[in-house]
Amino acid sequence: MSIYKEVLGSQFNELHPMLQKRYELPDTSPFKANGVMKNITRGSSWLLPLFLIGAKRKFLFPESGTDIPFTIINTRQKGANGEEQVFWERTFFFPNKTRSFNALMSRNSKSKIVKDYLGEPPLFYSELAFFVSPEGHMRIQSLKQRIVLGPIEIPLPKLLQGATKVTEGYSEEKGVFTIDVQITNPFLGLLFSYEGEFKAHEL
């Protein structure tokens, strides 16, 4: 059973059937898809140093644009301590640069929270809460966050956090998955966002 089925419990059955297939993630093969990001937007230019650091760690990146091709791969694996993990690989193909946005997720065994380590090696940690919308969409919201400096993790106060909201759906008309990600800060406004659609190689 995938960590997402475990976290959502009975709510999992309320997801659109194609989203259920997408998040079941059998351990025999990864989920692979490709698509197009209609819009990728980053925040103020004075945040450029942060995005450049993030790009080196396969996290955030400074590029923005429209109609950017991308791929996504989700792979189940076992951690060193035997815990179930899902490795996320997102690759964006800008005209003059290829960027990655990778993460490693696992379940908090004591709660219905997903632990999300972003970057390679990890630069940022966020706890994620998963919900199912009345429309059958997958919704994800960030909770506590920390900066990761090797073995040291420093909690971030809410005023310094990047509040993340994700909505993933499925369009029956187009036969594609849809994705909308918004990362904002109470003082700085929009930090990073992308919106697009993608189609699985096999489901």
d(CA 75, CA 31) in angstroms, rounded, equals: 7
Answer yes or no: are the C-beta atoms of 35 and 174 closer than 8 Å. no
d(CA 146, CA 87) in angstroms, rounded, equals: 19
One digit per residue, the tens of pLDDT, for the chain of length 203 reads 799 999 999 999 999 999 999 999 987 789 999 999 999 999 988 899 999 999 999 999 999 999 999 999 999 999 888 899 999 999 999 999 999 999 999 998 788 899 999 999 999 999 999 999 999 999 999 999 999 999 999 999 998 999 999 999 999 999 999 999 999 999 889 999 999 999 999 87
Answer yes or no: are the C-beta atoms of 35 and 196 closer than 8 Å. yes
- Nearest by Cα to 180 from 191, 172, 169: 169
Long-range (24+ apart) CB contacts under 8 A made by 108-117 are: 109/83, 112/7, 112/8, 112/9, 113/7, 113/143, 114/3, 114/4, 114/7, 117/148
The rounded mean pLDDT for the chain is: 95
What confidence score (pLDDT) does residue 151 get? Answer: 94
d(CA 141, CA 126) in angstroms, rounded, equals: 10
Answer yes or no: are the C-beta atoms of 89 and 73 closer than 8 Å. yes
Query: Tell me: the pLDDT tens digits for 49-87?
Result: 999 999 999 999 999 999 999 999 999 999 888 899 999
